[in-house]
Amino acid sequence: MAKEDRGAGESGTRSSGRKAGGGMEGANADTRMRILESARQLFLDTGYHKVSMRTLAKAAGVSTGPLYFHFSNKAEVYFALSMEALQVLNGRIQQAAALDLPEARKLHMIFMVFEGFYREEPVYNQIIRLAFNPLSGIDFTESQRTALRDRKLQYMNIMKSVAASGIHNGELRDTEATRLMLVLHALGEGIMMAAENGDLDMYGVTVTELVNEASRVAYRGIAVREEGEQE
């Protein structure tokens, strides 16, 4: 019952915040940003299931009241972080796809985006991986799962579009664009998983080195070569 009363109070606070103008809205936005910034590292350091709304509030330096104003539960916090992380990744892939390069080279650059994201944004990378792990135990709602899937599909469809363009103009071998995209996507996912499992360390190979090698091997398999050109 107390939870329901708190929810009603939050609704009223939100309404008064909107009426008050930019000052309170700006403060609310700053609080939300601070909560998400602290939650990113807290989830990584502590693990999702050891984090509570109370520890989220403490890490952000706020009481639980402001936290519940913005988020109903920790799954909602994690959902917001996951959407944020996917948006960052999508932006990088969109930039690579917009480069003035042949389509095969664009696919290489997109492939390298994943390596850069893994290296430069380790927290975001882990957030995304856990969000889509069926064993994570995160209680996303169906609408949240759909939103996450749709945002992930954005970058996958960018890859598919680049592949389809390369196939259409004869630069890439005649194959089905969706399957080509999925092969490249699965190859990248497998490399990142091997890195996390320590498989690469056992052979003294870095993620960057293996991504470059995988890109070279994949390019040899999908690119159409001029007559007489060596493999």
Q: Report the CATH number that the domain containing residue 38 is assigned in CATH.
A: 1.10.10.60
Is 229 part of a structural domain of the chain?
no
What is the rounded CA–CA span in Å between residue 125 and residue 135? 17
The mean per-residue pLDDT over the stretch 3-30 comes to: 47
Q: Give SS3 for 15.
A: helix
The mean per-residue pLDDT over the stretch 205-211 comes to: 92
What is the rounded CA–CA span in Å between residue 39 and residue 53? 10
Q: Report the CATH number that the domain containing residue 207 is assigned in CATH.
A: 1.10.357.10
Q: What is the DSSP letter of 204?
A: T
What's the alpha-carbon Rg for the chain, to the nearest Å? 22
What's the pLDDT tens digit per position in 18-54? 344 455 566 678 999 999 999 999 999 999 999 999 9
pLDDT at res. 10:
34
* Residue 119 belongs to domain spanning: 76-222
The residue with tokens 């994690």 is 78
What's the pLDDT tens digit per position in 124-179? 999 999 999 999 999 999 999 999 999 999 999 999 999 999 999 998 888 899 99
| Judgement on whether residues 95 and 159 belong to the same structural domain of the protein | yes
| Judgement on whether residues 6 and 59 belong to the same structural domain of the protein | yes
What's the pLDDT tens digit per position in 63-121? 999 999 999 999 999 999 999 999 999 999 999 999 999 998 999 899 899 989 999 99
Q: What is the DSSP letter of 223?
A: B
What is the rounded CA–CA span in Å between residue 58 and residue 150? 32
Task: Give the residue, 4 or 151, on which the prediction is more confident.
Answer: 151
| Judgement on whether residues 119 and 173 belong to the same structural domain of the protein | yes
What is the rounded CA–CA span in Å between residue 13 and residue 79? 23
Is 40 part of a structural domain of the chain?
yes
Is 230 part of a structural domain of the chain?
no
Whether residue 224 has pLDDT greater than 70: no
Phi, psi (degrees; rounded to nearest 5) at 223: -85, 140
Q: Give SS3 for 172.
A: strand
- 11, 38, 72 — which closes off a domain? 72
CB-neighbour burial class of residue 124 (10 A; exposed 0-12, middle 13-18, buried 19+): buried
Helices (H) and strands (E) in the chain, counts: 11, 0
Is 231 part of a structural domain of the chain?
no
| Judgement on whether residues 122 and 66 belong to the same structural domain of the protein | no
pLDDT classification of 215: cutoffs 50, 70, 90: confident
Phi, psi (degrees; rounded to nearest 5) at 172: -110, 155
Are the beta carbons of 73 and 39 closer than 8 angstroms? no
